[in-house]
Amino acid sequence: MQDSGPPGLELHTTCIKRLLMRSTATTIADMPHVAVLPGPSSWYKDYPIAEGARQSPINIAPEEAVYDHGLPPISLHYDNCTSTNISNNGHSVVVEFDDVDDRSVIQGGPLENAYRLKQFHFHWGGKGCHGSEHTVAGKTYTSELHLVHWNAAKYSSFAEAAVAPDGLAVLGVFLEVRDERGGLNKITDSLYMVKFKGTVTDFRDFNPNCLLPSSLKYWTYPGSLTTPPLYESVTWIVLTEPICVSEKQMGKFRTLLFNSEEEEQRTRMENNFRPPQPLKGRTVRASFK
């Protein structure tokens, strides 16, 4: 690190160094069973689709997004939501839901059917670094929440849906450091129980409604999982309005470890995001003018 230079640049360099240091670490599993993998820049070696036509995340350029007046509002029915457990899968912290029926679904917007909520998880950076996957006009956010849903009207299992072009719908919500978000406390207060990779504990009666902003205005585009196997099966719905989170709450996410309890190495779970991928001619549609 140089002694001089603008502090912003220094911070940026630190974040990049942290990313480069993460030789064996990886970003989050949108697929829960993925083992330890090399970093995003070498994923293409094992997963050629990493260079495919509809990879995620992307940088969203608001002025290039096309307003589509035919896009209905999205509607979220999480009222009778049944969360089951919270776990550390070695890539992120994941809250899973009972998805045997249509009790918790997203519908409307670009979706032809109701899609069932399967799980949600987060991506975040190191302290003072940004950690969202999608960016907006080049701006990154502190963290990004992904609510993962699958098309149970058309496919018989999550695994089957995960490989189909219209199989998954992921709702992305940005987190911005400001005040504490009360709804996040139940999650951040449970993280000490899932510090190590492979740990899981009961997590009942959590309704993700408390993690949503007041506006459901969104951008939508066809994309992929952001971790291997990077299947191009996701209809992305990214909300424009971020929710807030406190620095203290973000600090609790960074107490998680990429490692299991048996491993000698202890690497803090942070910077578990994939950088934006080429748009390759895709259109981002906006639900608003």
Residues that bind Zn ion (CB under 5 A): 28, 30, 146
The residue number with the shortest CB distance to Zn ion is 146
Overall residue count recorded for the chain in this entry: 289
Nearer to Zn ion, 31 or 279 (CB): 31
- In angstroms, give the least distance from the CB of 171 to Zn ion: 11
Residue 202 pairs in a beta bridge with 85
- In angstroms, give the least distance from the CB of 3 to Zn ion: 38
Nearer to Zn ion, 146 or 197 (CB): 146
For 148-151, the CB contacts below 8 A with 24+ separation are 148/30, 148/117, 148/118, 148/119, 148/120, 148/121, 149/105, 149/106, 149/115, 149/116, 149/117, 149/118, 150/99, 150/115, 150/116, 150/118, 151/113, 151/115
Nearer to Zn ion, 13 or 41 (CB): 41
- In angstroms, give the least distance from the CB of 98 to Zn ion: 20
Contact 168, 234 (CB under 8 A): yes
Is 91 a catalytic site residue? Answer: yes
> One of 91, 123, 134, 149 is an active-site residue; which one?
91
- In angstroms, give the least distance from the CB of 100 to Zn ion: 23
Nearer to Zn ion, 27 or 188 (CB): 27
Alpha-carbon distance 90 to 35, whole Å? 8
Contact 198, 90 (CB under 8 A): yes
Active site residues: 91
